[in-house]
Amino acid sequence: MANLQSIMDHAVAVARKAGEVVREALSDDRKVMMKSSAVDLVTQTDQKVEQLIIQSVKEKFPSHRFIGEESVAAGEACVLTDDPTWIIDPIDGTTNFVHAFPFVAISIGFAMNKQVEVGVVYSCLEDKMFTARRGKGAFCNGEPLAVSDQTDIQQSIISTEFGANRDPEAVDKIFCSLRNILSLPVHGVRGAGTAAINMCLVASGCVEGYYEIGVHVWDIAAGSLVVSEAGGVLMDVDGGELDLMSRRIIAANNRSIAERLVKEITPFRPPRDDSPPQKL
């Protein structure tokens, strides 16, 4: 049985180390490469940070498995089994990082029996360490977090992202949802440029709801536990149960805001994270 406190301690320590690497790299030349499209970016720092995290975890927990964004991009399988698994986004907000837009996170989730047990999101340019353990609350730099108690969506801030999908049909649906929500009206729509930080903003009580279609399991694994441990709710954009591999999420302060968002979102289904790779 894995000792969850030692896993949490290790995740925090390695996230901090990773944050230093990211901060240092901000002052260097950032060589940008493309992944699935011209707007899906990756840098050598993403790859270096993922290796740093995986190596350090392997030394301490040699039997654990990994799902890492850049390892999956390099061809590793993206499968969540019942085994202890670290789910890693080395830089969440790579586009922000490339432009020095100041919200960049290291996201580390730890799951057993397909359930996230530990979540660590380090917003490394703000130096905010968000942590959560299942059943033990959510914290930022050691201070307890609680979601907003707002139940009226018209008095709310909603955050979302456009993601990297530029398929015209998907873009139309994304704008349709955005138009509906903006016109409710809500107080405002925001987007930090990182799924993990958007979720931590929900957990912190300054954003009532975050939704996105197109995220990946490494974007949301850690943040989802931070939200639920801060008292929030998670669901699929159609109101069903959250499926970490489905690339769709609503994370909200409470059920009434989440269900109101469901009514306004035009859903679509990107290929699942655990779907077999397409043959060319």
Q: Which does 161 bind (CB under 5 to 8 A by kind): Mg ion, ligand IPD, none?
A: ligand IPD
Q: CB nearer to ligand IPD: give 112 or 210.
A: 210
Under 8 Å between Cβ of 172 and 159: no
Closest CB 115 distance from Mg ion, rounded Å: 21
Q: 269: how many CB neighbours lie within 10 A of its CB?
A: 11
Q: CB nearer to Mg ion: give 117 or 219.
A: 219
- Give the residue numbers of the binding site for Mg(2+): 69, 89, 91-92, 219
Residues 66-85 that bind Mg ion (CB under 5 A): 69
Q: List interacting residues with ligand IPD (CB under 6 A).
A: 69, 89, 91-94, 161, 163, 193-195, 212, 214-216, 219
| Phi, psi at 274, each rounded to 5° | -100, 20
Q: CB nearer to ligand IPD: give 117 or 219.
A: 219
CA end-to-end span of the chain: 42
Which residues in the chain belong to E strands, given as ranges?
Answer: 32-34, 41-43, 65-68, 85-92, 105-112, 115-123, 128-133, 138-140, 143-144, 157-160, 188-190, 209-213, 233-235, 248-252
Residue for token digits 């990756």?
42
Residue 161 within binding range of Mg ion, rule CB under 5 A: no
Alpha carbon 198 to its chain centroid, in Å, reads 8
Closest CB 1 distance from ligand IPD, rounded Å: 31
Q: Is residue 94 annotated as part of the catalytic site, yes or no?
A: yes
Structure tokens at 110: 């730890």
Which is catalytic among the residues 50, 70, 92, 212?
A: 92
Closest CB 193 distance from ligand IPD, rounded Å: 5
* Catalytic sites, residue numbers: 69, 89, 91-92, 94, 219
